[in-house]
Amino acid sequence: MNNKNNTSKDFLTHIDTRFSITAFIALVAAVLCMVAAFTLPESYGGKNSVPEYLQLALLALGCLLSFRAPVNKTFYVFVGFLLLFLLLREINYGRTLPCFADPDNPERFKKWKEIPYGWLAHPLVGLYLAALLAFFLCKKLYKTLWELISNTRIPAWETAIVLIAAACAQLTERLVHNDFLEEFFELTFYSALMCLIWRYSRGKYSTCA
């Protein structure tokens, strides 16, 4: 019984339940996204929509925060390049930019096989990810990651919103097949994620000590 109590206490020491300014921002963003998702017409969703542009802006902000982090610089350079990959993925590595849309159908874009040298896209993405993994391993950034996880108190509110939004985005994409709702869940996810990145990259967290 004592072992269970000690385990529970150890777990709780790693959770920060305080309602900080970033928790407030993440929660407000989540509420606004859900209100928008259930009140706006579906024309506001889809490719090259306002929610997607906001996602790109948040990812760009995350890259800036990471590349200019005053602590654990090498680790946050890795995070910055990872966010850059997510940013490029959101626009299908440039393939779904508005300038490449079908003039008769703004929602239609050429497939990679229809684009000259488009076959190079996926190998280049693979090389980018392989380079990121090599950087992570060669710089032993897994040690930095473990130190952050084991020695800091994880912000409960922001983390909960990140996990819930990520799960809902996957469900709406794979089971409900609703691109409109998916965009707003992704926007919620990125909003909370940027709050976490700001806190950690600026050292605005509590330690377990």
CA–CA distance, 79 with 63 (Å, rounded to integer): 8
Beta strands in 42-110 (DSSP E): 101-102, 105-109
Tokens of 46: 């889809």
Return the domain boundaries, the chain: 2-201
Angstrom distances, CA of residue 177 to CA of 180, 194, 203: 9, 26, 39
Residues 6+ apart with CB under 8 A from 89: none
pLDDT digits 0-9 by tens, 73-114 = 999 999 999 999 999 888 887 777 666 666 666 667 677 677
CA–CA distance, 186 with 170 (Å, rounded to integer): 9
DSSP SS3 for 14: coil
pLDDT digits 0-9 by tens, 35-80 = 988 888 877 766 677 888 899 999 999 999 999 999 899 999 999 9
For 17, phi and psi rounded to 5 degrees?
A: -95, 5
